[in-house]
């Protein structure tokens, strides 16, 4: 209950949200998410997976997307450590 109140209070603080949005980790996280979304979309279009999939095909595709996303996060983490 207290945590929810604090999060709501911080989220409604416009100056704090602005400063966080300008920070390097937040920008990098947004870049990673956008890159993963576009790569997933391209992968789906490349493989012709925008048709109806069987549950097994869907599961395999989601595993590939998850692995790709984990690799992107690891890569960004390594870049962040190198910049320090």
Q: E-strand spans in 1-84?
A: none
Q: Residue 21: give the domain boundaries.
A: 2-83
- Give the span between the Cα atoms of 21 and 9, in whole angstroms: 17
- Tell me the per-residue pLDDT of 10-63, one tens digit each, with 9 for 90 and over: 888 888 888 888 899 889 888 988 998 888 888 878 877 667 778 888 888 889
- Tell me what the mean pLDDT of segment 54-79 comes to: 86
pTM: 0.49
Domain total in the chain: 1
Q: Where are the alpha helices (DSSP H) in 1-84?
A: 2-11, 14-21, 24-46, 55-83
pLDDT at 49: 66
- Tell me what the mean pLDDT of segment 66-73 comes to: 88
């Amino acid at each position: 209950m207290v945590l929810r109140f604090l999060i709501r209070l911080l989220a409604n603080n416009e100056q704090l949200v602005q400063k966080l949005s300008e920070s390097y980790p937040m920008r990098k996280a947004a870049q990673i998410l956008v890159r993963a979304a576009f790569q997933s979309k391209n992968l789906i279009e490349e493989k012709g997976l925008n048709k109806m999939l069987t549950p097994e095909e869907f599961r395999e595709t989601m595993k590939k997307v998850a692995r790709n996303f984990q690799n992107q996060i690891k890569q960004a983490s390594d870049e962040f450590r190198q910049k320090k």
